[in-house]
């Protein structure tokens, strides 16, 4: 933008120099009144071709010849530079929109973050940390520009509209986060998204406590009330500070490369029908199994060593990121 400003400044200075020089020349050489001299200079530079304001003598015609060459050159240069500037501003935006559309069309099993305010930004950063494909949708150009500066894929549109969700690939998406400013907007997003993709997992932000149940009835699988959660965390930080510190380390990786993940056991895995003791994940990988969510929805906390793993079980595990990825690879690879 600074380069464009400098270019327009140089163009304006060149035109002003030509006008001032021509006005001064006609005034001094031909004795024109200042306004007539300015008018003569203007019609000469713009090649309009009106007749001379007053008859020019030889000296005036020589001066006018040089003014024509300089003035017309300046005007053509100005027109060319302004045209180039317009193209530089418009073409990248046009090609940028096409590039975004192509990238969105390639998304599969991705997540859609509706709203890039404080809650949406935190959700987007967490998805980026998890290295999963996602798309940010917001009606504010400034917020989308902020997302793009952070190397996130952004779509500047109204996420409450069906055509926007379709453009974001909601029919191919795995999940959606409704983090718009108002509960009404989040409600519209949930209704539209669930109608377009009934299998979609939806997490929603609720500004008011009474809106939580409405959002769930609309189809939200998970509803969070930031203010209630913040109050709960504030109280816990005073009553059980070490517990809060542990949860921060486990869920936000504060100071350590540690996280809590869920790993689904594939039906083809060689570890199906084997116990945790046989897996030896703690000794070999340094991963702790906190719980097992069975395929029927039952949650088994702090499972014993003889707990048997079945197909489609989800292990809730804690450990370093690399070790968690290694465990996931072992539990999902097929039998040899």
Does pLDDT of 152 surpass 80? yes
The neighbour count for residue 131, using CB atoms within 10 Å, is 8
For residue range 265-301, what is the model confidence (pLDDT) as tens digits? 888 887 788 888 887 878 888 888 888 888 888 888 8
Strands 222-224 and 201-205, by their bridges, are parallel
Q: What is the dihedral angle through the alpha carbons of 279, 285, 286, 288, rounded to the nearest 10 degrees?
A: -40
Q: Which of 82-91, 125-134, 164-173 has the highest mean pLDDT?
A: 164-173
Is residue 303 within 8 Å of residue 291, measured between CB atoms? yes
Q: What angle do CA 153, 154, 159 make, to 5 degrees?
A: 135
Give the least confident one: 117-121, 152-156, 252-256. Answer: 252-256
More reliable by pLDDT, 8 or 335:
8
Q: What is the mean pLDDT of residues 126-153?
A: 90
Q: What is the H or E stretch that residue 296 is in? A: none
Which pLDDT belongs to residue 258?
Answer: 72
Which pLDDT belongs to residue 229?
Answer: 72
Does pLDDT of 259 surpass 60? yes
Is residue 35 within 8 Å of residue 50, measured between CB atoms? no
Does pLDDT of 305 surpass 80? yes
Which pLDDT belongs to residue 92?
Answer: 52
Q: What is the mean pLDDT of residues 253-269?
A: 74
pLDDT level of residue 334 (50, 70, 90 thresholds): low
Which pLDDT belongs to residue 62?
Answer: 86
Which pLDDT belongs to residue 101?
Answer: 82
For residue range 100-139, what is the model confidence (pLDDT) as tens digits? 788 888 999 999 999 999 899 999 998 998 889 999 999 9
**CA–CA gap between residue 205 and residue 175 (Å, rounded):** 14
The neighbour count for residue 57, using CB atoms within 10 Å, is 12
Sequential DSSP letters for 61-116: HHHHHHHHHHHHHHHHHHHHHHHHHHHHHHHHHHHHHHHHHHHHHT--S-EEEE--
Which pLDDT belongs to residue 40?
Answer: 85
For residue range 199-251, what is the model confidence (pLDDT) as tens digits? 999 999 998 878 888 999 999 999 988 777 777 777 877 888 877 777 776 66
Which pLDDT belongs to residue 88?
Answer: 59
Is residue 135 within 8 Å of residue 124, measured between CB atoms? no
**CA–CA gap between residue 64 and residue 33 (Å, rounded):** 16
List all residues 6 or more positions away from 77 whose beta carbon is below 8 Å from its beta carbon. 11, 14
Residue 314 pairs in a beta bridge with 264, 293
More reliable by pLDDT, 111 or 330:
111
Is residue 328 within 8 Å of residue 262, measured between CB atoms? no
**CA–CA gap between residue 143 and residue 132 (Å, rounded):** 21
Q: Domains (ranges, CATH) in the chain?
A: 2-102 (1.10.287.70), 108-230 (3.40.50.720), 256-332 (3.30.70.1450)
Which pLDDT belongs to residue 252?
Answer: 61
Q: What is the mean pLDDT of residues 156-170?
A: 93
Compute the radius of gyration of the chain from its Cα atoms: 34
Does pLDDT of 336 surpass 80? no
Which pLDDT belongs to residue 287?
Answer: 87
For residue range 36-79, what is the model confidence (pLDDT) as tens digits? 888 888 888 877 767 777 778 888 888 888 888 888 888 888 88
Is residue 191 within 8 Å of residue 204, measured between CB atoms? no
For the chain, percent of residues with pLDDT exceeding 90: 27
């Amino acid at each position: 933008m600074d380069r464009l400003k400098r270019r327009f400044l140089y163009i304006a200075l060149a035109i002003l120099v030509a006008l001032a020089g021509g006005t001064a020349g006609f005034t001094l050489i031909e004795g024109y009144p200042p306004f007539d001299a300015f008018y003569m200079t203007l019609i000469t530079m713009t090649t309009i071709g009106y007749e001379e304001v007053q008859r020019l003598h030889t000296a005036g015609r020589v001066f006018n010849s040089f003014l024509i060459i300089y003035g017309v050159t300046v005007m053509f240069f100005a027109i060319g530079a302004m045209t180039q500037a317009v193209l530089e501003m418009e073409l990248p935006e046009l090609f940028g929109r096409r590039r975004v559309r192509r990238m969105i069309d390639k998304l599969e099993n991705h997540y859609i973050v509706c709203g890039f305010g404080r809650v949406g930004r935190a959700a987007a950063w967490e998805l980026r940390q998890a290295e999963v494909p996602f798309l940010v949708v917001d009606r504010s150009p400034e917020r989308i520009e902020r997302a793009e500066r952070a190397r996130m894929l952004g779509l500047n549109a109204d996420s409450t509209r069906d055509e926007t969700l379709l453009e974001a690939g909601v029919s191919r998406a795995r999940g959606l986060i409704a983090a718009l400013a108002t509960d009404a907007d989040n409600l519209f997003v949930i209704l539209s998204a669930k109608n377009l993709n009934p299998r979609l997992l939806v997490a929603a932000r609720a500004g008011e406590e009474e809106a939580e149940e409405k959002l769930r009835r609309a189809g939200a699988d998970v509803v969070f009330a930031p203010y209630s959660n913040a109050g709960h965390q504030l109280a816990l930080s005073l009553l059980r500070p070490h517990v809060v510190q542990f949860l921060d380390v486990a869920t936000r990786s504060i100071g350590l490369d540690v996280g809590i993940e869920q790993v689904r056991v594939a039906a083809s895995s060689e570890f199906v029908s084997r116990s945790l003791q046989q897996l030896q994940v703690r000794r070999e990988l340094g991963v702790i199994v906190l719980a097992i969510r069975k395929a029927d929805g039952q949650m088994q906390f702090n499972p014993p060593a003889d707990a048997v793993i079945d197909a489609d079980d989800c292990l809730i595990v804690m450990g370093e990121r690399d070790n968690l990825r290694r465990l996931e690879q072992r539990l999902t690879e097929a039998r040899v």
